Homo-oligomer: A and B are copies of this chain.
């Protein structure tokens, strides 16, 4: 039998580690022959754009480099297979048949898990034996069921490290200042909330953390900032990009209103807006910083826990397919925080596809401007450990398909 693997959705530091997990496990499985990589997610299956991974990932060295390379080495897509386009499903089926692909592994976010669900259902209905398994990934950490998502820990480690550096940078002058750091997170505030881990290293900042799950009002925000300014010279505010300013309080809109293929709103600028509000209403030195795509691609400061787990969950996906599972998504179950123990199982893709897991309300403080000890205990294990990054000429070495 042959297998195929594809990567989808927005990049993270851990998607290639999951690919390595699938690849290594397949290599050591006697009944698996060819391991195909599909270029640009499911589009590669539809368009028959496959590569034989054994011709490009040849050595342990290649695998090590791939583990430390951010983004998706096979490319990605944001294509969601339609509900009722028989031709698309037939083309996928034909590609699987042509190459004797008996298991397909889709590494992606909740939109990709929608593809896992639909495709596995179609294949079952037509009597195909090809298994479809989802390997989750997203820096947003907003997938249901799974304790956390591959890619999140590395993003959280980058964000914590960088916010700590911004704290140092913000504290140098003698005048009062406010620094607003905008963190990714469309509808769920996991990544912004994770900055609470800095308290493990005796940082008081960030002084305020705002999540999309909070009821945000400009009035309370200004009161919060003023209260912190009374105590701290350099106030650090972390805000999730998805925090919405109530319409009647925002002068002008900061949301473009544009939507992507999945109907998600493109958001930008809540940090900049809060900067303007502080400048106008308080009048102190203020700046906003957007951590942008660096949050999802800063592999040089990835979490070893995350990279190791991402590889493991890929490998577990292969074992699940071989044991007959299909239409399933691999998930982490946390056994304990200290010592940190997780195991891996699988659940029906229907339980994950097109759903979002919000940050728990009960982990938000009463004033809705911070998170509590439960959040701290949850996040801290996920950023532990450093991958020894291979360097060349003073820069990390990345694995590239076309060397």
Contacts and interface: CB of A to CB of B under 8 A. Distances in A.
A301 B294 CA distance: 14
Interface in A370-403: 380, 383-386, 391-398, 400
Contact of A162 (B76, B202, B298, B384): B298
Contacts of A303: 394
Interface of A: 11, 40, 43, 69-72, 75-78, 157, 160-162, 164-166, 168-169, 171-174, 197-198, 200-202, 289-294, 296-301, 303, 380, 383-386, 391-398, 400
A13 to B, nearest CB: 9
Given A11-B172, A289-B292, 6 more contacts: A162-B294, A165-B297, A166-B294, A198-B395, A201-B395, A300-B301
A165 B397 contact: no
A161 B202 CA distance: 28
B293 A289 contact: yes
Contacts of A40: 172-174
Contacts of A398: 164, 168, 201
A395 B293 contact: no
Given A164-B398, A289-B292, A172 B393 contact: no
The 3 closest A-B pairs by CB, nearest first: A71-B168, A383-B394, A76-B172
A384 B393 contact: yes
A290 B290 contact: yes
Given A300-B161, A300-B301, A75 B396 contact: no
A316 to B, nearest CB: 24
